[in-house]
Structure 1
Amino acid sequence: MTVEPRTEAGDVLTEVIMRTFRLYGAFLDAAEVMTKPVGLTAAWWQVLGAVLHEPLPVSGIAREMSLTRQSVQRIADVLVEKGLAEYLPNPAHRRAKLFRPTAAGYAAVDSLRAAQHAFTNKVSSQVDLDELKTTLKVMRQLVTAVDDVKRPAGASSG
């Protein structure tokens, strides 16, 4: 087994990964606080948020959010049971139904807006806007790079 040489860029990326884990945990904690008063969980909000603009099959949500299809399926089934979402026929695939929020699901997410904006405005006020924009750009590049590395050799990206 060949050991790859250590690089400065690799060390910096490792630190970015560790800070990302820490940040993700902090965002989940904040989301739980925001969602509890409206009867949601952070995971429910995450799944509903993935389909606010267009319905997707569960596998599409899982891919978009880098979650397992099984975990998204469990959450989707609970959301349907609670009347916050529904399954629709999928013209592109008979068995993979589309998932979307119901009016109650949209209302639940909408009721989070004030808390979400208060949180994001408070946090973002402590970081320069241009740096936030650069961070977003770099995060998108990292997602693409990780997806490229994970993709089997010869597989297309699209």
Structure 2
Amino acid sequence: MLDEIHKRQHVVKQNRPKRTAEGDAFSLFAITALRLAGRLTAAGDDLARPTGQTSARWQVLAGARSGAHSVAQIARLLGIARQGVQRLADTLEGDGLISYVDNPQHQRAKLVKLTDEGETRLAAIDIAQAEWADRLGQSFTSAELDAARAVMTRLIETLDAETGKAQAGYGA
């Protein structure tokens, strides 16, 4: 059995396209970024859980903080599908954490606004996140984190340019 697996791995390696050193480095970076994204989502869920929220719901609440964004705008800011944000926003509205208000610039695209209860829950998450960020931030210098963020921002811009999707920055 081990011989058969080894033979299959050998065939896979032979058929794998060659990449440049930069392509290999980018692939490893992308895999690491995906692993990090999963861990950040799990950590966000942990931070938001005491308020009855999830990372996804927290992101929509944060997007609603200014009261000046539609569901579509929040989706663009987050870089995710509008339909997913719409489902979350409708659930948050049902829970009394956001409300839809008229948009003076668009009749049908309502703006998403935090309710007092939504603001209270978001404030509690913000406190937990600040303590968490301060604790984790001690493992790095500000320069290291700024450099990592600059690389990620540049990659987002490169991907957006390649796919033709210009997206506004969120939380940058």
Q: State if a TM-score over 0.5 links the two structures.
A: yes
Counterpart CA distance in 2 for 1:148 and 1:21 is 20
Quick one: which amino acid aligns to residue 83 of structure 2? Q
- Distance in 1 (CA, whole Å) between partners of 2:35 and 2:167 is 30
TM-score by length of 1: 0.88
Write the distance in 1 (CA, Å) between the matches of 2:96 and 2:157. Answer: 35
- Pick the aligned partner of 2:146 from 119, 126, 133: 133
The answer as to 2:57 corresponding to 1:44 is yes
Q: Is 1:150 paired with 2:138?
A: no
Corresponding pairs, count: 152
Q: What residue is the counterpart of 2:7 in the other structure?
A: none
Could you tell me which residue of structure 1 aligns to residue 46 of structure 2? 33
Superposed counterparts of 1:1-20, under 5 Å: 6-20=19-33
Identity of aligned residues (%): 32
- Residue deviations 1:61-80 (CA, integer Å, cap 9, x gap): 11111111111000000111
* Residue of structure 1 equivalent to 2:76: 63
Q: Does 1:78 align with 2:57?
A: no
Larger radius of gyration between Structure 1 and Structure 2: 2
- Select 1:113's aligned residue among 100, 123, 126: 126
* Residue identity matched to 1:147: D
Q: What is the aligned partner in structure 2 of residue 53 from structure 1?
A: 66
Q: CA deviation at 1:113?
A: 2.5
- CA distance in structure 1 between the partners assigned to 2:31 and 2:64 by the alignment: 29
Secondary structure of the residue aligned to 2:108 is coil
- TM-fit CA distance, 1:51: 2.6
RMSD of equivalent CA atoms: 2.0
Per-residue deviation, 1:53: 2.9
Higher helix share: 2
- Residue of structure 2 equivalent to 1:91: 104
- Which stretch has the larger CA shift, 45-54 or 35-44? 45-54
